[in-house]
Amino acid sequence: MLFNSLKYLLFLPSVYVVYYFVGERVRWCVLLAASLLFYAALNIPYLPIVLSLVALTTYSFGIWLDRAESHRSKRTLLWGGVTANVLILVCMKYLPFLSSNLNTVSAWFSVCNFSPAIFPTLVSIGVSYYVFQAISYLIDIYLEIEKPELHFGYFALYLSFFPKLLQGPIERSSDLIPQLKNRYEFNYDNMRFGLLLFTWGFFKKVVIADRLGFYADTVYNDVHAYTGLSLLFGTYAYAFQIYMDFSGYTDMALGSARLFNINLTQNFNSPYLATSVADFWRRWHISFSRWILDYIFKPLQMRWRDSKNWGTAAALIIAFLISGLWHGASWGFVIWGGLHGLYMACSAIWKPYQKRLYKALRVEKTPYLKSWQIFITFNLVSLAWVFFRANSLDDALYVVLNLIHRPVSNRIIDMLIGTGINQYNLMVLSISLVLILLVHFQSGKVRFTNCPTWFRWGVYFLLTLWVILFQAEGAASFLYLRF
Amino acid sequence: MTTMEQLNVIFKTVFDDDDIMITPEMTANDVDGWDSLSHINLITTVEARFSIRFSQKELLTQKNVGDLIRDIESKLAAGN
């Protein structure tokens, strides 16, 4: 069930009404049943079984870990629980990739007749998200940061809570479980903010992201037909499509959860205004980047601390390669992660010299430097998106090698129209993007809830009308759903 | 000098700021330039100055200056 489907628009209020009217003691049962129904509605029978398996395994290992006396048995149990989760993820997501690469390698060397089995590709929607949450739960118990949850129902709900089940945010048990246990009382502000956030996310997805997708898809599904600026704009269109798509989804998830008085982690903070790639990762998919930072990067960095910046650089590259692989079993994602790791590793080594250079040039804290850094960071991130979006490695290399090329036409508008986007779409996009920018720059200065009633209701009405009138044709799936 | 005073000297050197006055509640958010890169410099300098070696678990659970002081003092006490 997708957030932008009619089914979900009926499902969410129905769940809320049942949740509101039942007694406090069984409210968690309503949310758990709704979450399982939501997952089962994908019509992939093995997915709820995988979810139950992860929940049961992690719940049991969590309790055993807490009860273990010696450091050695705690360590063994941690590795047992983490390995079980990783194995489930590998079976669901990576076996076809591993077997096809093993086949290729064995064919290269042809020293033996080894031919691994070919595994079918399984649909693994949501699995990467709840497996990561399960791993963080076990590590936090091992580090004695958290106590295990003894109530299996609340623990299963922590993993499966439907607003964040398919695409995150990746929540820590310490943040979510206490909120799930709080007594529910109707809160008008939460209801209003939740519905507004949901509609705002809907607007970002169906009006902007899907419309940008027309252009990005046209270019990326036939890259060899384009050169130069068309490829560059196709790449920029994708950069904004994936941002609007994913942040729109996150707004809808946060909005849905807010109806039940639950605050999920905000995943985005104007990522394309980042002044460095490290800053980008503090603003993009925040719950995921925190996970990678806390559970992969930091342990490696600490282990290799005697090598100083070189140890940090190596830890960054490994952490981001894993981050790439998490997104999917393809070399495009691995290169995307590797590029981000490389950017950050170079930055770690270059940083002390960079500070001295800026001091010598007397450009520290100047607006010019900041604008330049934003421009460079956005283009570095966009370059990495090429490998993330391209249908194959050949396509990605073609795009990178032909990005800077003499344009066939000097008129940008002709190029855009030539690749499928029409003037109507361009107009809707421009007005919508102006609206996004207005909200962004006013949000820190004006408190929406303090505005007069006529203004607030005018905004609700116009936003809903804008979504109904200008949603892009054909409901597209969310881009991050496949990860 | 107390552990806190010795640690304050290290902070001044690592973050190149003579005005730093550490407190047990202080976190990375309170010190300009305390990021994951400078954190490694801080930890290796502390280990060298006090002749101690933190375990992986200690390093991953230190949330503020107070936690760091607690771990330094417990290491020094175990060594004496």
How far does the CA of residue B77 sit from the closest CA of chain A (Å)? Answer: 21
Residue A375 tokens, joined: 């421009």
CB contact under 8 A, A293 and B57: no
Burial of A404 (0-12, 13-18, 19+ CB in 10 A): exposed
A481 confidence band (pLDDT: 50, 70, 90): low
Q: For residue A416, what pLDDT is reported?
A: 62
Chain centroid to Cα A249, Å, comes to: 9
> pLDDT: is A96 or A269 the higher one?
A269
Mapped onto helix, strand or coil, the DSSP state of residue A328 is: coil
Structure confidence at residue A387 (pLDDT)? 94
Where exactly are the structural domains of chain A? 6-184, 190-470
Mean per-residue pLDDT, A260-267: 94
Give me the pLDDT at residue A206, please. Answer: 87
The mean pLDDT value for A5-11 works out to 89
pLDDT of residue A140: 94
**Is pLDDT of A117 > 70?**
no
Each residue of A46-72: pLDDT tens digit?
Answer: 889 999 999 999 999 999 999 998 889
- A405 catalytic? Reply is no
d(CA A155, CA A161): 10
Structure tokens at A231: 């490829």
Q: Within A204-264, where are the H helices?
A: 210-220, 228-258
Question: Can you tell me the mean pLDDT for A400-408?
Answer: 73
Contacts of residue A179, defined as CB under 8 A and 6 or more positions apart, other chains included, come to: A261, A262, A263
Percent of chain A with pLDDT over 70: 90
d(CA A164, CA A260): 13
Q: What is the pLDDT of residue A343?
A: 94
Among partner residues B35, B43, B60, which is closest to A305 by beta-carbon distance? B43
Mean pLDDT of chain B: 88
Q: What share of chain A is helix, strand, coil (3-state, %, to 5)?
A: 75, 0, 25
CA distance A25 to B47: 51
CA distances from A56 to A177, A180, B47 (A): 16, 19, 41
Does residue A446 surpass a pLDDT of 80? no
Instruction: Give the ipTM.
Output: 0.84
CATH no. for B3-77: 1.10.1200.10
Q: What is the pLDDT of residues A74-106, one digit of tens each?
A: 999 999 999 999 999 888 877 777 777 777 777
Q: For residues A131-135, give the mean pLDDT.
A: 95
How many other CB atoms sit within 10 Å of the CB of residue A309? Answer: 16
The H or E element that residue A472 is part of is: none
Is the pLDDT score of A405 beyond 80?
Answer: no
- Chain A residues touching B61 at Cβ < 8 A: 143-145
pLDDT at residue A132, rounded to an integer: 94
Write the CA distances from A21 to A272, A297, A447, B77, integer angstroms: 43, 45, 32, 59
For residue B28, the model assigns a pLDDT of 87
| pLDDT number for residue A286 | 94
Q: Which token pair is A158?
A: 């922590």
pLDDT category at A44 given cuts 50, 70, 90 is confident
Q: pLDDT-based confidence at A477, cuts 50/70/90?
A: low
CA distance A133 to A127: 10
Model pTM score? 0.84
What is the per-residue pLDDT for A115? 59
pLDDT at residue A411 tops 60: no
Nearest partner of A340 among A377, A312, A374, A299, judged by Cα: A377
Residue A448 clears pLDDT 80, i.e. is over it:
no
Which listed residue (A327, A340, A405, A440) is catalytic? A327
8 Å CB contact between A190 and A454: no
Task: Say which range, A5-9, A334-338, A421-425, has the weakest mean pLDDT.
Answer: A421-425
B contacts of A306 (beta carbons < 8 Å): 44
Percentage of the residues of chain A whose pLDDT score is greater than 90: 48
pLDDT tens digit sequence for A378-389: 999 999 999 999
Q: Is B43 on the interface with A (CB under 8 A)?
A: yes
Cis omega (within 30 of 0) for bond into A271: no
| CA A365 – CA A200 distance, rounded (Å) | 34
Q: Answer whether A302 touches B (CB < 8 Å).
A: yes
pLDDT band (50, 70, 90) for residue B47: very high
- Note the pLDDT tens digit of each residue in A306-356: 888 888 889 999 999 999 988 887 889 999 999 999 999 998 888 778 878
Q: What's the rounded Cα separation, in Å, for the pair B41 and A457?
A: 54
Distances (CA, A) of A328 to A293, A320, A386, A437: 19, 13, 15, 32
State the number of CA atoms in the 13 A half-sphere of A18 facing the CB. Answer: 14
Measured between CB atoms, does B55 come within 8 Å of chain A? Answer: no
To the nearest whole Å, the CA of A295 is away from the closest chain B CA by 9
**Least reliable range by pLDDT among A135-149, A359-373, B46-60:** A359-373
The pLDDT of residue A207: 87
The pLDDT value recorded for residue B66 is 93
Is residue B41 within 8 angstroms of chain A, CB to CB? yes
pLDDT at residue A407 is higher than 70: no
Contact flag B43-A302 (C-beta cutoff 8 Å): yes
